[in-house]
Amino acid sequence: MDISAAHIAVLAENQYQELELWYPVLRFREEGAHVTVVGPRADQVYGSKLGYPVVPDVAVTDVSPDDFDCVIVPGGFAPEQLRRNRDMLDLVRGVSERDGIVAAICHAGWVLASAGLAKGRKLTCVSVIQDDVKAAGAEYVDQPVVRDGNLITSRLPNDLPEFCRAIAEALAERPARDRSAREHPTGTSAAYQAPARVKTRSAGAGSANYLMYAVSGSPGT
């Protein structure tokens, strides 16, 4: 498959790691790929660990695994929220089931575990969650990038060049496929206009479950 024909989903949630989301988005757009940022909602701002905002191109409920040749899961603490979102897990699992490429970096190993994709696979992740992926049945390897079939994993932002190179190589090996799948917007901009402050609120009275949300504005607002 020529990279310009590839359709790639990059997942977004609050507390994402800045480089692990934007590096692949911009890297593959530069190559001409169709890169769509997918979030829980398309009309909502999500904040990174340092307050860098992103507004997804499309909501996860408006896409299908058949729409994408590859899904990239950034790290940070966003995977803690992504793994609790059934629609996000269904998207990741669905891309894998149709032999699309699933690429996960850093804490995104949590998403692989919750989606049932770690068992019996060789992968890497940030070292602090290695016990989690091992408990999910994976063989943990401490390397910059590990490829096991259609699964590509990396550890940290410094590994992004090798991570994205492995994704590009895997896409190049894929045969071109019928582009009858739906097209989605690809216009998410990295322009920083205001910080996005991530807050939490209780899911309900007396609940121990807290929900994250982001608001735009200066630190004093």
Number of folded domains that form the chain: 1
Q: Would residue 122 count as lying in a domain?
A: yes
Any domain includes 201: no
Diameter over CA atoms, the chain: 53
pLDDT digits (tens, 9 = 90+) for 111-120: 999 999 999 9
Supply the range of the domain harboring residue 87: 3-177
Q: What is the CATH number of the domain that holds 53?
A: 3.40.50.880
The answer as to whether 101 is a domain residue is yes
Q: Examine residue 205 and state whether it is found in any structural domain, yes or no.
A: no
Over the stretch 41-100, which tens digit does the pLDDT of each residue have? Answer: 998 999 999 999 999 999 999 999 999 999 999 999 999 999 999 999 999 999 999 999
Predicted pLDDT at 217: 67
* 218 domain-assigned: no
Q: Would you say 124 and 140 are in contact if contact means Cβ atoms under 8 Å apart?
A: yes
Whether the per-residue pLDDT at 181 is higher than 70: the answer is: no
Does residue 205 have a pLDDT over 80? no
- Indicate whether 221 pLDDT > 50: no
Residue 191 scores a pLDDT above 80:
no
Report the catalytic residues: 107
